[in-house]
Amino acid sequence: MSYSLTFHGHSTFSLDLNGTKVIVDPFLKGNSPVAVKSADEVEADYIWLTHGHGDHVADALPIAKRTGATVISNFEIVGWINSNGHDKTHPQHLGGGFQHPFGYLKMTPALHGSMLPDGSNGGMAGGFLLKGDKNIYIAGDTALFSDMALIGAHDIDLAILPIGDNFTMGPDDALLAVNYLKPKVVVPCHYNTFGYIMQDADAWAKRVDLETDAKPVVMEIEETIEV
């Protein structure tokens, strides 16, 4: 069994789940020079979309059409993907999980907006909890909420949390989130992409190290770690 995680910048990650390729919230083309990987070269069997904002769905349609990947997101975003010419989708919604071939994937709540780039209704923002060989929580864009303690009951191996502040949790709230979630490893995201969300991730990681039981990993762009 082998899971790995690759960081492409902002909130864009690839997961390799025993050979099944997942890309989460693809935002590559519009994120130059932070993102160095091209949307034309990423591999995907599945595309997971946490919410409808442009910095999360920007490259979803082109990647879906090129790779034939199945898009998993909330009902409204999946409808938007369908009406833009891609049929391979699986709609879910907050609190709902499904046993996919790669593992059981549940959509979790997030406190955030979700309007799509063309103004379409993107439903409610969410996150993902994968229960597979390892348990992975991807918070998506969200404020801190104390129900993260309920998600933390799932024995989280890896949590991916926004720390950028301004649009999502900042460093202080993300530290509280780590205390609710109690992951073995935590990876920060959604920072240093554009002006409002500049943060010192290494300083945050030091605090995680000192103040929680989680192991922080600040990933470089295109770095891959074993999960």
Contact set with Mn ion (CB under 5 A): 55, 141
Nearer to Mn ion, 61 or 115 (CB): 115
- Least Å distance, CB 167 to Ni ion, is 6
Determine the 3-state secondary structure of 20 from DSSP. strand
> Shortest approach of Ni ion to residue 132 CB, angstroms?
26
Q: Which of 10, 53, 106, 182 forms a contact with Ni ion (CB under 5 A)?
A: 53
- Interface region with Ni ion, contact rule CB under 5 A, candidates 47-55, 71-79, 99-107, 179-187: 47-55
Cα-based angle 33, 21, 53 (whole degrees, multiple of 5): 50
- Label the pairing between strands 89-92 and 70-74: parallel
End-to-end CA distance of the chain: 10
The residue (of 16 and 55) whose beta carbon lies closer to Mn ion is 55
Asked if 190 interacts with Ni ion (CB under 5 A), we say: no
- In angstroms, the Cα distances linking 43 to 14, 21, 195, 199 are 9, 6, 30, 30
Burial of residue 47 (CB within 10 Å: 0-12, 13-18, 19+) is buried
Which of 16, 76, 141, 173 binds Ni ion (CB under 5 A)? It is 141
Whole-number CA gyration radius for the chain: 16
CB of 197 to Mn ion, least distance (A): 9
Question: What is the total count of residues that contact Ni ion (CB under 5 A)?
Answer: 2
Query: Shortest Cβ distance from residue 54 to Mn ion (Å)?
Result: 8
Positions in the binding site for Ni ion (CB under 5 A):
53, 141
